[in-house]
Structure 1
Amino acid sequence: MAVFTSVSLDDVRPWIAQFPLGEAVALKGIASGIENSNFFLTTQSGDVRTEHVLTIFENLGFEQLPFYLQLMRHLAGHGVLVPEPVPNHDGQLCVPLHGKPAAIVSKLEGSSQMDPQPVHCAAVGDMLARMHLAGRDFPLHQPNLRGIAWWHETAPAVLPHLPEAQVQLLRSEIHFQEAFHGSDLYKRLQQGPVHADLFRNNVMFDGERLTGFFDFYFAGCDTWLFDVAVTVNDWCIDLDTGVLDTARVRAMLDAYHAVRPFTAHEQAGWQCALRAGALRFWLSRLYDLYQPRAAEMLTPHDPTHFERILRERIATPAPRLFA
Structure 2
Amino acid sequence: MSVFTAVTEDDLARWLGDYAVGRLVSFEGIAAGVQNSNFFVTTTLGRYVLTLFETVARADLPYYLHLTAHLAHHGLPVPAPVADRNNEYLGTLSGRPAALVRRLSGRWLTDPTPAHCTRVGAMLAGLHLAGQSYGRRQPHPRGAQWRAEVAERVLPHVGAEDAELLRTELAWQAQQDFDALPQGVIHADLFRDNVLWDGELIGGVIDFYFAGTDTLLFDLAVTVNDWCTMADGSLDAARSAALLEAYGDERAYTEHERRLWPAALRAAALRFWLSRIEDLHLPRSGEMVQVKDPNEYRRILVARIDGEARLPDRP
**TM-score normalized with structure 1 length:** 0.95
Task: Report deviation, 1:102.
Answer: 0.2
| Equivalent residue in structure 2 for 1:296, among 287, 293, 306 | 287
Residues 99-118 of structure 1 mapped to structure 2, 5 A cutoff: 99-118=95-114
Residues 226-241 of structure 1 mapped to structure 2, 5 A cutoff: 226-238=218-230, 240-241=231-232
Residues 1-323 of structure 1 mapped to structure 2, 5 A cutoff: 1-44=1-44, 49-180=45-176, 183=177, 186-238=178-230, 240-323=231-314
- Cα distance in structure 2, aligned partners of 1:130 and 1:261: 12
State the one-letter code of the partner of 1:66: P
- Cα distance in structure 2, aligned partners of 1:229 and 1:187: 16
Structure 2 gaps of 5+ residues are none
Structure 1 vs Structure 2 CA RMSD:
0.9
- Cα distance in structure 2, aligned partners of 1:187 and 1:58: 30
Q: Is the 8 A contact 1:253 1:322 kept in 2?
A: no
Task: Report deviation, 1:188.
Answer: 2.6
In structure 2, the residue corresponding to 1:104 is in which secondary structure?
A: strand
Q: Is the 8 A contact 2:31 2:290 kept in 1?
A: no
In structure 1, the residue corresponding to 2:111 is in which secondary structure?
A: coil
- Cα distance in structure 1, aligned partners of 2:128 and 2:245: 15
Task: Report deviation, 1:292.
Answer: 1.0
Task: Report deviation, 1:8.
Answer: 2.2
**TM-score normalized with structure 2 length:** 0.98
Task: Report deviation, 1:216.
Answer: 0.2
Q: Is the 8 A contact 1:262 1:322 kept in 2?
A: no
Q: State the Cα deviation string for residues 233-284 of structure 1 (Å, max 9, x = none).
A: 000011x211100000011011111111111111011000000000000000
Task: Report deviation, 1:124.
Answer: 0.5
Q: Is the 8 A contact 1:253 1:321 kept in 2?
A: yes
- Cα distance in structure 1, aligned partners of 2:68 and 2:242: 26
Q: Is the 8 A contact 1:40 1:52 kept in 2?
A: yes
Q: Is the 8 A contact 1:270 1:321 kept in 2?
A: no
In structure 2, the residue corresponding to 1:204 is in which secondary structure?
A: strand
Task: Report deviation, 1:31.
Answer: 0.6
Task: Report deviation, 1:174.
Answer: 0.8
State the one-letter code of the partner of 2:72: A
Structure 1 gaps of 5+ residues are none
Task: Report deviation, 1:223.
Answer: 0.7
- Cα distance in structure 1, aligned partners of 2:199 and 2:76: 19
State the one-letter code of the partner of 1:233: N
In structure 2, the residue corresponding to 1:121 is in which secondary structure?
A: helix
- Cα distance in structure 1, aligned partners of 2:134 and 2:221: 22
- Cα distance in structure 2, aligned partners of 1:95 and 1:233: 35
Q: Is the 8 A contact 1:126 1:256 kept in 2?
A: yes
- Cα distance in structure 2, aligned partners of 1:137 and 1:320: 26
- Cα distance in structure 1, aligned partners of 2:32 and 2:224: 21
Q: Is the 8 A contact 1:246 1:319 kept in 2?
A: no
In structure 1, the residue corresponding to 2:17 is in which secondary structure?
A: helix
- Cα distance in structure 2, aligned partners of 1:274 and 1:321: 15
Task: Report deviation, 1:70.
Answer: 0.6
- Cα distance in structure 1, aligned partners of 2:311 and 2:104: 33
The count of aligned residue pairs is 314
- Cα distance in structure 2, aligned partners of 1:322 and 1:71: 33
Task: Report deviation, 1:211.
Answer: 1.1
Q: State the Cα deviation string for residues 169-218 of structure 1 (Å, max 9, x = none).
A: 001111111111xx3xx233111010000000000001211112100001
**% same residue:** 48
